[in-house]
Amino acid sequence: MLYLRQIRAAESTYFQTHGRYGKLSELWPNSAIPAERSMVGGNFAGFRFDVEPKGTKYTVTIWPASKERIVSLYSDETGIVRVAFRGQQATASSPVIHEAGK
């Protein structure tokens, strides 16, 4: 959830500045923080990261890059977080584990 929160916070800041959501490469283009640089590359801490901006909307999916990780997360600009386990990739129709603002 920490990485998802980082991406959501960066998207919020990016949107306020640019009037649209950004790709991972746009969120932290010159970051000195190793975790952010790695997420920009789409792979960090045993997970893969995908952000799909669509103007005033975006989706973010985080899924295991290795068998040691079993949880996949999905969220969008609403802040609702959805989850899938063990080989399934979380999507917009996956079960909700966190409501926005809670």
pLDDT more than 70, % of the chain: 96
Distance between CA 101 and CA 51 in Å, rounded?
21
Longest dimension (CA), the chain: 38
Domain count, the chain: 1
What predicted TM-score, i.e. pTM, was given to this entire model? 0.85
- Rg of the Cα trace of the chain? 13
Tokens of 88: 């399934």
Segment 22-70, tens digit of pLDDT: 998 898 887 777 777 778 888 888 889 999 999 899 999 999 887 777 8
Structural domain that includes position 10:
2-98
Whether the CA torsion 70, 75, 81, 83 is positive or negative: it is negative
